[in-house]
Chain A
Amino acid sequence: MTYLLQTLLPLIFIYAMLSVSLSLLLGHTGIFSMAHAALFGVGAYTFGVLTVNYGWALLPACLVAMLACALVSALIAAPSLRVSGDYFVVASLGMQVVVSDVISNWDSVTGGPAGLPGVTRPIIFGIDFSSDAGFLLLVAAVACLTVAVCAWVVRSPFGRTLHAVRDDELAAAAMGKRTRTAKIVVATFAGAIAGLAGVLYAQYLFFLSPETFVLSTSITIITMMVIGGMYTVTGAALGAAVIIALPEVLKELDLEPATAAALQQMLFGALIMVFMFVRPQGLFGGIGGGVSRLIARRRLARGEGGGLADA
């Protein structure tokens, strides 16, 4: 039970933030990003380096970390979304590789492959969050607040603009919506959330290792979002719980670590495929709303235009 509370629950909350932030991009706007682990890493390392190496106070470091992530996310989005979502996928993959390289090669700042130890947990208004129970409370509060803000964003007029961009960008633009600006703004916002998750992760573990922020973590976050449900905020958040809990179940099978890791990845791959076939709205996504509209519109498009090339 203590293991569950101290180890798993904070991790679930942190990954829920990542999954929700990614769902803002893919589920709500239709932008596919492969760089979420990179943004997570930029947040964690910016916070870690500023507090450990330069002795910054935790709050300004946290804000700067979020800002840095927003900036990196905008750096991927601004040039590529000017053209198309295909470019964004490739640019985000590229950014994922660059960030992984920077984290593991820039030894003098990030500690390189040896990692970055010595991150501390905060004391806010005299309340000490450094105990595991206290920290769990902090993470839960921040994550719930983030999810609530995201749910509000999705329902706001801006959220409706995002849905319009996803469902029919040309029509949205014709209605006078600034679609490109909306896409860049949501990418920046999602980046800041991923950064906040990174800050919490650094405090959770007290230690950062470059291996956490690689492409396969991006894929894990994508899996959480797909399985939970990318079209609803709560669905995406609950997906994190399922995917974090899954390896714990596999542990019961008593496999060798290498076998278990490969098996778990295979399961992720298969789950993504099965869900996209059978239940694209995810485990917890309600039927109706965005999805059925999306699919109905796609069927329509296919009937009219053949649905393949558009050049």
Chain B
Amino acid sequence: MTLFWQLVLNGLVAGALYALVAVGFALIFGCTRHFHIAHAGVLATGGYLCFALVDRAGLPILLAGALAIAASTLLGVVILRGVYRPLERRGGEGFVLFLVSLGALILIENTFTLWLGASSVTVDPGEALKDPIRIGSVSLTAMQIGLIVVSFAAFAALMAILVRTSLGKDIRALAANPELVRILGGRPDRIQTAVYALASAIVALAGVYQVADTGMQPGVGTNLIIFAFVAVILGGIGSVGGAFAAAMLLGLLQNVSQLVIPSEWSTSVVFVMFLALITLLPSGLATLKSRRAVVLSATAPDASLPGDALRPATHSGEQA
């Protein structure tokens, strides 16, 4: 039983990390339909810059983390305004944008590999944070508890922004009907910038956690973004809440499955279940929930069978 609860806790930790990546991707995808795989590059930037600032510039870890997050936020916005915008002006969208995003991810990740090396780099957050804290028969480090708290807090803050503020209203409006926003005199470009800034700041948190805990190496960001994609699809495309819940579920599933399946197979288990699930439930777990749970999508769940962002806009959801 102890093992079970320990695995549940480990699952929460993994899920909290996936969730930090997934909510931002869900927000961007729901609002702009950009398949922003370079989000993983923004995560890597958060982690690697934090390491570089501590290790090369000798800054204290908290300051380094904050600066790294700020720089990553900026990078996210630069990718939007400097790369995606000009591309869209040339008529490139759908898989063209995805290809460019993939190129950006490879470029960013390997820039850091070239600079800081291909082996794993870590920042030491101090003994106190890495000592296991016993809770009954199970244990977590303060870092891990912090990650879970930060992940829930970031999600709560994001939801508060989406539901309560006028920016949130703008974001939801843009997700629902960009043309109408433009007609009513809204500024879609500014709203998009805000969306990229929010999502990039949140994903940079995951990068900073990663470098301070298990370490940053090439491929870490890509690995995490794959889980985020799965979470976004399972959560129902466009739903930030669904993405968060699904990310947590993936983390739990991946860890608790180790009770019966050797741990080296746990990632495969998640993806096999994913393939099975999209066969049975093509529009994600969100269809199981009430209409109110879908925060970004203005349409009713039965109509929210996702359109196809990798195709031009005229292809709305294929009527199967």
Contacts and interface: CB of A to CB of B under 8 A. Distances in A.
B114 A273 contact: no
A13 interface: no
A233 B105 CA distance: 27
A114 interface: no
A124 interface: no
B129 interface: no
B35 interface: yes
Interface string B72-103: 00000000000100111011111110111011
Interface in A59-87: 75-76, 78-80, 82-87
Interface stretch (A47-55, A98-106, A150-158, A192-200): A98-106
Contacts of B283: 83
**SS of A interface (majority):** helix
Contacts of B311: 30, 84-85, 169
B120 interface: no
From B109, B230, B283, B313, name the one whose CB has the most chain A CB atoms within 10 angstroms.
Answer: B313
B99 A301 contact: no
Interface of B: 32-33, 35, 83, 86-88, 90-96, 98-100, 102-111, 113-114, 117-118, 174-179, 182, 188, 219, 222, 226, 229-230, 233, 237-238, 264-265, 267-268, 271-272, 274-275, 278-279, 282-283, 297-299, 303-318, 320
Contacts of B175: 309, 311
B179 A97 contact: no
B102 A85 contact: no
Contact of B278 (A91, A222, A268, A270): A91
B107 A85 contact: no
Contacts of B98: 32, 89
B105 to A, nearest CB: 7
**SS of B interface (majority):** helix
Contacts of A283: none
Nearest to B264: A105
A162 interface: no
B253 to A, nearest CB: 14
Nearest to B96: A276
A305 B302 CA distance: 22
Interface stretch (A4-12, A204-212, A244-252, A259-267): A259-267
A277 B88 CA distance: 10
Contacts of B265: 101, 105
A309 B176 contact: yes
